[in-house]
Amino acid sequence: MHSVSVVLIYPLVAGLRSLVPPLTIVRKMAEGNENADDFLPSVMTCVNYLKLPDYSSIDVMRHKLSLAIREGQLAFHLS
């Protein structure tokens, strides 16, 4: 268990630049008449890939990221 905790904590100490592969952030496109503000961000953690909808404001983005982090701690979904 010690090695797992070291792997999980190391990026926090060394910063995002230490991630391998590097962190990639892309726009998650809404389809049709969908409103991006209605969706949470999604991730592919194995490749450090964050998909962010084109939110209407920084405040909406902060709220949605915070909500996804809180609510997704015990969930695993493929996207």
The one-letter amino acid code at 23 reads L
Task: Tell me if residue 46 is catalytic.
Answer: yes
Burial class (CB in 10 A: 0-12, 13-18, 19+), 39: middle
46, 58, 74, 78: the catalytic one is: 46
The one-letter amino acid code at 34 reads E
Count the Cβ atoms, other than its own, within 10 Å of residue 65. 15
Residues known to be catalytic: 46
